[in-house]
Amino acid sequence: MRLQHGVSLLEVLITLLILKLGLLGVLAGQTLALQYIIDATQRTTAVALSAALVQELGAVITDSPDFSLELNADSLAEIPGCSAAVACNDTELRDYQLARWQQLWQLRAETGAPIFSPQFCLQFADNNLQLQASWQQRANANGATTLSCEAGPGRSGLALTARIP
């Protein structure tokens, strides 16, 4: 009897099954890595925009009365009607900064550095400016979560506090 050389059909099928399982594992890892990258991009964008707002508001609210406000994609801040001919008071300047800042993060959402369902809460009291922000995690983009400034199930968040001299 002669020895047969080569690969049997069963060996080929087992090899293909092992290869398929390995490729599925790599694909699942890439999907998870993409979700982490999107969440990290959202966090970086939120931190940069929040730090910019705290810095800008710190320059204009030194003698401002205490205030508290919430901003999200549905509540648009109004730009005050002051101009070069009519000077802005401190409150109007603060409102202008908030409106421009809100336009900036909404523009970022449209141009590729998205913050999904953002919610920002600002509070100024006793010369402390406190900002809390939260946004929808990409992994939970289809899940229904409530809008809140605090992180929770399906939402990431951050909090900044600055002392205004």
Boundaries of domain holding 49: 9-163
Please state, in angstroms and rounded to a whole number, the distance separating the CA atoms of residues 24 and 36: 19
Domain membership flag for residue 155: yes
pLDDT of residue 15: 94
Indicate whether this model's pTM tops 0.85.
no
Tokens of 96: 């202008």
Q: Considering the domain boundaries, does residue 3 fall inside one?
A: no
Residue 80 lies in a domain: yes
Q: Which of 157, 56, 51, 132 shows the shortest CA–CA distance to 98?
A: 56
Q: Is 119 exposed, middle or buried (0-12, 13-18, 19+ CB in 10 A)?
A: buried
In a domain? residue 157:
yes
Q: Are 122 and 92 in contact (CB under 8 A)?
A: no
Which position has the higher pLDDT, 139 or 27? 27
Q: Is 1 a member of any domain?
A: no
Element spanning 50, H or E? helix 9-60
User: pLDDT tens across 57-113, in order?
Assistant: 777 776 667 778 787 767 777 777 777 777 777 777 778 888 887 777 766 666 665
pLDDT tens for residues 8-19?
889 999 999 999
Domain count, the chain: 1
Q: Please report whether residue 114 resides in a domain.
A: yes
The mean predicted confidence, pLDDT, of the chain is 80
63: in domain:
yes
